[in-house]
Amino acid sequence: MIERIHLKLVKAVQEHGSLTAAAKELFVTQSALSHTVRKLEDNLGTKIWLREGRNLRLTQAGNYLINIANRVLPLLEHAEDKLKQISHGERGTLRIGMECHPCYQWLLKIVSPFLHSWPDVDVDVKQKFQFGGVGALLDYEIDLLVTPDPFYKAGLSFEPVFDYEQVLVLPKDHTLAKRKYLQAADLRDLTLLTYPVATDRLDIYTQFLNPAGVNPKKHKTSETTEIMLQMVACNRGVAAMPRWLAEEYSQKLPLSVLRLGRAGIAKQIFLGTRTNDGEIQYLDAFVEMARNYKLSSK
C-alpha cells in the first residue's frame, strides 16, 4: 500500500516545496504526482497535505510519512549499494573450510594480505564438517576448501597451490636424529603425536606406516602444533608435519627434522571451489594470491 515511490514523493515535496518541483526531481509530470497523491490519500483515508492556495502544508499524517521515508529510503538505497557490490564480487563473506590441520599457519599468511586488498570482504574459517570438506563445499557451507586430498567431482575444481614435504620431527638430541631418513620400522618404539583426526587421513599412516605394517609404540593427539612440538622437544614423542612448518618451529625449539622414507613423502595443498562461483571476484583473487605465495616462498 505504501510504496517506495510514495516515500520518495513525500520527501521530494518536502525538499522542493511543491508538487511541480518534486515532479521535476522525480522525472515525471506534475499530473502523475497529483494522481499518485490523490490515490495514496484515498487509500490512507487521510490527507497528507492541506492545500492552501498554492501552498501545501503537511498534516500530522504527512509528517509521520516523512519520518518513515527518512528511515526507510536510506535503508533501501544502502541495500542497493551493497547488493551492487555483492554482484560485482567486491563484497561478501569468503567462507574457507580447512581439512588440513597444519595448513592453518599457511592460510594465515594468505588471509592477512587478502583482508587488506579486499576491505569489504569478510573471511570465515571453519574446520568441522558433518559430511566432509567436499560435502560442505557442495552444500554451500563454505566457498573454498583447503585440503591435501582433492576429490574431483562435477561442479568442483581443485587447484594445487603449495608443494611441501611431510617430515618427522624429533627431539634434537634423539638417537635417530643423525640419520638421513627414517624407515617405518624406526617408529615401532616411538610415541607418535598427531592432530586428532582418523588415522586414514594421516599421511604418515596411509603412506608410511600402513604399507610397512608398522604401528608406533603409542599414539597421542594434540589440537595445536605449538603444544605438540613442545612435547616433542621434551622427549614425549615425535610428530609428522610439513617441512616448512617444522623448520619454522625448529628455530625456537630444540628439534630435528627427518625425511620419511628414502624418497620422502611429497604433498600438495589444494584449493577447491565450486565451478559456478566463477564470477565471484574476491574468490578468484584469493586463489590467485595463494598461487603467488607459493611462488614467492620458493
The three-class DSSP label of residue 157 is strand
Shortest Cβ 130–a copy of itself spacing (Å):
17
List binders of DNA among 98-127 (CB under 7 A): none
Partner from DNA, a copy of itself, none contacting 18, C-beta within 5 to 8 A by type: DNA
Q: Per CB under 7 A, does 221 bind DNA? A: no
| Interface pick for a copy of itself out of 68, 156, 176, 287 (rule CB under 8 A) | 68
The three-class DSSP label of residue 120 is coil
- Taking residue 37's Cβ as centre, other Cβ atoms within 10 Å add up to 20
Q: Which three cell numbers stand for residue 142?
A: 563454505
Q: Which three cell numbers stand for residue 155?
A: 561442479
Shortest Cβ 10–a copy of itself spacing (Å):
11
User: Which CB sits closer to a copy of itself, 4 or 38?
Assistant: 4
Partner from a copy of itself, DNA, none contacting 198, C-beta within 5 to 8 A by type: none
Looking at 27-35, 63-71, 187-195, 241-249, which segment touches DNA (CB under 7 A)? 27-35
Give the span between the Cα atoms of 25 and 73, in whole angstroms: 16
Could you give the C-alpha distances from 133 to 109, 140, 148, 205, 263, in angstroms and in order? 21, 11, 11, 20, 29
Beta-strand (E) ranges in the chain? 49-52, 55-58, 92-98, 121-126, 144-147, 156-171, 181-182, 191-194, 218-221, 238-242, 255-260, 265-274
Partner from a copy of itself, DNA, none contacting 19, C-beta within 5 to 8 A by type: DNA
Shortest Cβ 273–DNA spacing (Å):
20
Binding site for a copy of itself (CB under 8 A): 1-4, 44-46, 50, 57, 60-61, 64-65, 68, 71-72, 75-76, 79-80, 82-84, 86-88, 92-93, 140
